[in-house]
Copies of this chain bind each other. A is one copy, B any other.
Amino acid sequence: MQREHHKRKPGRPKASRSSQTMTQILRTASFLFMEHGYEKVSLVTVAQSCGLTKASVYYYFNNKAVLFTECLLLVLKIAHDQTASIMSGSGSLQHRLLTVAQRFMSNAHIEFESMMREASTELTEEQVGSIRTAEQALHILLKDIFQRAIDEGEIAECDPMLLSHVFTAMLTVRNRKEVINEQKSVDQAAEEVIQLLWRGLAPRQ
Contact = CB atoms under 8 A, between A and B. Distances in A.
Interface of A: 11, 36-37, 39-40, 53, 94, 110-111, 113-115, 117-118, 121, 132, 136, 139, 153-156, 158-159, 161-163, 165-166, 169-170, 172-173, 175-179, 184, 189, 192-193, 195-204
A178 B136 contact: yes
Nearest to A36: B117
Given A153-B203, A156-B201, A172 B39 contact: no
Copies of this chain per assembly = 4
Contacts of A161: 178-179
Q: From A118, A156, A176, A192, name the one whose CB has the most chain B CB atoms within 10 angstroms.
A: A176
18 contacts: A36-B117, A39-B118, A110-B114, A111-B113, A113-B172, A118-B118, A132-B177, A156-B201, A156-B202, A161-B178, A162-B192, A165-B173, A166-B196, A169-B169, A196-B197, A196-B200, A199-B200, A200-B202
A200 B156 contact: yes
8 A-B pairs with least C-beta separation:
A200-B200, A114-B114, A111-B111, A155-B201, A113-B175, A165-B173, A199-B200, A39-B39
A118 B40 contact: yes
Q: From A94, A115, A169, name the one whose CB has the most chain B CB atoms within 10 angstroms.
A: A169
A169 B171 CA distance: 8
Given A170-B166, A202-B156, A115 B113 contact: no
